[in-house]
Amino acid sequence: MKTLEQTTEEILGLAALHFKVPREQLSAGDDFYRKLKIDSLQALDLLTRLEHHFGIELPDYEVQGVTDFRTLATRIQARL
Amino acid sequence: MTHHQGKTLSWEIKDGALELALHHPPANEIGTAMLAELEMFVRALAKAESNCSAVIIHSRQPAGFSAGADLRELYTQARPLTPAKRTAGVRKFLKRIHSVLNALDASPLTTIAAVHGVVFGGGFELALACDLIVADKMARFCFPELRLGLVPGFGGIPRLKRDVGNAVVRDLLFTGRSINAAKALAVGLVSQTAGEGEALRVARATAAQISKFDRDTSAAAKRFLKPIPREELRHEIDIFCVLFARPAVMESLRKFVEDKGAHPYLP
């Protein structure tokens, strides 16, 4: 079972890699819409990549209103 | 017409398959312009029956296959009208799009939707009218209409019911959530998944295999396997129009259209 810290770290690594942002510029409390400069369609792309990476289903209503990586990690953690 | 280069879509015959490419930015929203060209495509489809085996529908837009109905156009056109005229206008549009999708659904050719990215609302309904869906692993499927106080209007519920079980139909409709390609494959909505950017290639390989078989036999099998739920489709238009007449729907459309935030595609 992954810890919340491990899950958060994997999300940050995946987001940095896919959206081409240096990993060191991302932290758990960041607003990922602003930091990654993404819109809602790209957020869905991120959601799909996270579902593939963690092997989970994450209904989009569960991430409604979620804008920071840490909260996103808690939602994913609950599905692992 | 064996090829057409249009404003919102184009088609050509390639290796025995009629390939329809959607290219209406930003995300192939289906409004009056695309509908008019889809009607032209349906006429070309009838003429292609003698020299093609398959139809492939795909998108050239990076955002995906289609984000569905053009809600901005719908709102802009409906806003100045009386409620009765709004409903009459939307009914006319729905009858036209149903005619297109029914023709595609009934075509004796085997039809394949090669989808990626967003496959939402009317875009999902276009894919459901096809015989097979080949999905890029990054595709997402969604019926967001209930968020607006509506039901899908392009034949979505009857065709979804035809293809998958009640648990999936109700989950998609009542929650408005999106599902990824792996889930869509698991529930039987999608025939094959492909790697990123590979759905069209996989669809072409599938079309090539289909072309090896006798067309009349394939058409007979299709009529047997895939009856068109015409009565339910007509009923869906009626339900949509009743819901559309409510002031709350115009208010939901206004909020969607005026939303400048980054979240309009999330519930």
Of B180, B264, B266, Cβ closest to residue A64: B266
Residues B187, B164: contact at Cβ < 8 Å?
Answer: yes
Are the Cβ atoms of B179 and A57 closer than 8 angstroms?
yes
Check whether B260 has a pLDDT greater than 90: no
Please report the pLDDT score of residue B267 as a whole number.
Answer: 46
Local confidence band at B261 (pLDDT 50, 70, 90 cut-offs): low
Q: Tens of pLDDT along A11-52?
A: 999 999 999 999 999 999 999 999 999 988 888 999 999 999
Of B137, B138, B265, Cβ closest to residue A40: B265
- Angle at B169 (CA atoms; ends B166, B174), nearest 5 degrees: 115
Q: Which domain holds residue A61?
A: 4-77
Q: How many Å apart are CA A55 and CA A2, to the nearest integer?
A: 13
Cβ within 8 Å of B, A 32-61: 33, 38-41, 43-45, 47-49, 51-52, 57, 59-61
Please report the pLDDT score of residue B2 as a whole number.
Answer: 81
Q: Which residues contact B21 (CB under 8 A, 6 or more apart)?
A: B9, B10, B11, B58, B59, B60
H or E stretch at B111? strand B110-115
Residues A51, A20: contact at Cβ < 8 Å?
Answer: no
Are the Cβ atoms of B177 and A60 closer than 8 angstroms?
yes
Residue from A33, A36, A38, A48 to probe the interface with B (highest B Cβ count within 10 Å) = A48
Predicted ipTM beyond 0.85: yes
Local confidence band at B235 (pLDDT 50, 70, 90 cut-offs): very high
Q: How many Å apart are CA B133 and CA B50, to the nearest integer?
A: 23
Q: Tens of pLDDT along B102-135?
A: 999 999 999 999 999 999 999 999 999 999 999 9
Considering only CB atoms, which chain A residues are within 8 Å of B183?
Answer: 57
Please report the pLDDT score of residue B191 as a whole number.
Answer: 97
What's the number of domains chain A is made of? 1
Considering only CB atoms, which chain A residues are within 8 Å of B179?
Answer: 57
Q: Looking at the complex, report in whole angstroms how far the Cα of residue A38 sits from the nearest Cα belonging to chain B.
A: 8
Decide which of 3.40.50.1370, 1.10.10.10, 3.90.226.10, 3.90.420.10 is the CATH code for B3-258: 3.90.226.10
Considering only CB atoms, which chain B residues are within 8 Å of A52?
Answer: 137, 180, 182
Say which amino acid occupies B61: Q
Question: What CATH number is given to the structural domain containing A17?
Answer: 1.10.1200.10
Q: Tens of pLDDT along B171-226?
A: 999 999 999 999 999 999 999 999 999 999 999 999 999 999 999 999 999 999 99
Q: Which residues contact B108 (CB under 8 A, 6 or more apart)?
A: B49, B215, B216, B218, B219, B222
Considering only CB atoms, which chain A residues are within 8 Å of B143?
Answer: none
Buried b (16+ CB within 10 A) or exposed e, B106-145: bbbbbbbbbbbbbbbbbbbbbbbbbbbbbbbbbbbbbbbb
**β-pair partners for B56:** B19, B112
Are the Cβ atoms of A43 and B118 closer than 8 angstroms?
no
B42 is written with which tokens?
């349906």
B21 to each of A49, B27, B38, B53, B56, how far by Cα in Å?
A: 26, 13, 11, 17, 8
Say which amino acid occupies B188: G
Considering only CB atoms, which chain A residues are within 8 Å of B140?
Answer: 44, 47-48
Q: How many Å apart are CA B267 and CA B263, to the nearest integer?
A: 8
Cα of first residue to Cα of last residue in chain B, in angstroms, is 41
Q: Tens of pLDDT along B88-105?
A: 999 999 999 999 999 999
Check whether B7 has a pLDDT greater than 50: yes
Q: How many Å apart are CA B32 and CA A74, to the nearest integer?
A: 43
Q: Looking at the complex, report in whole angstroms how far the Cα of residue A9 sits from the nearest Cα belonging to chain B.
A: 22
Size of interface A-B (CB pairs under 8 A): 51
B61 is written with which tokens?
């837009």
